[in-house]
Structure 1
């Protein structure tokens, strides 16, 4: 699971892609101290979230929105 350069610990979260996700819509994974979340980069929707609080989910979505173009490169 390669971490996205510059996003090793962005506001307490690690953002990464996984190599076995081929064929899926563009998305990122974000991992915090208490859980993990998968976010679609096409429409910035939550594909799944486990163990994160609502506040943590909001923070991850805000980072994904701010960096959507960078993540899609």
Structure 2
């Protein structure tokens, strides 16, 4: 289910069509993984596997951060 909020933010994520490199397999899952780390206060390596590999999420978050700064 695509919400209005998701439609507003999905163009701002790394790994979308038109970006150099690989396209993200599931941007919604990536965002949920980032939010899980932020909400829980846990280390990123404790990210549950349902949110993809923690290294992948961290790498994508780092790239996203650097493009926004």
TM-score range (shorter-chain normalised) is 0.3 to 0.5
Compare the two structures and name the one with the higher strand fraction. 1
Greater Rg by CA: 2
Compare the two structures and name the one with the higher helix fraction. 2
TM-score norm. by structure 1 comes to 0.38
